[in-house]
Amino acid sequence: MLVAAKEYFNLPNSVVGVVHDKSTWGRRGLAVQNTVLEPGWRGYLTIELTNHGTDTITLEDGVGLAQIVFHHMDWASERPYDGKYQDQKPGPQEARFE
């Protein structure tokens, strides 16, 4: 299923972010597809979730279900992100095949 972060992201050209699982949810079978937030990307993050467990998982609004690790690069990207998901709107966004 797709869910959306409530936070707006605006990455500098010298920072990359990687979305990771949180172990508490992972122990229940919930996996976050580890998305990369590229340097220069901005918008509301859509997060892809998969339940590998046997029980139904109910998520309450605002619950922390993923973590993002930010990495500062030694130099700014010469080609910051300017793709089809730039300025992504709030709420889960479907894949765009262009």
Q: Where in the sequence numbering do the catalytic residues fall?
A: 48
How many C-alpha atoms does 91 have within 13 Å on its Cβ side?
Answer: 1
Q: In terms of residues, how long is the chain?
A: 98
Residue 53 tokens, joined: 């467990």
* Pair 18, 62: CB distance under 8 Å: no
Please return the burial class of 41, using the count of CB atoms within 10 Å of its CB with bins 0-12, 13-18 and 19+: buried
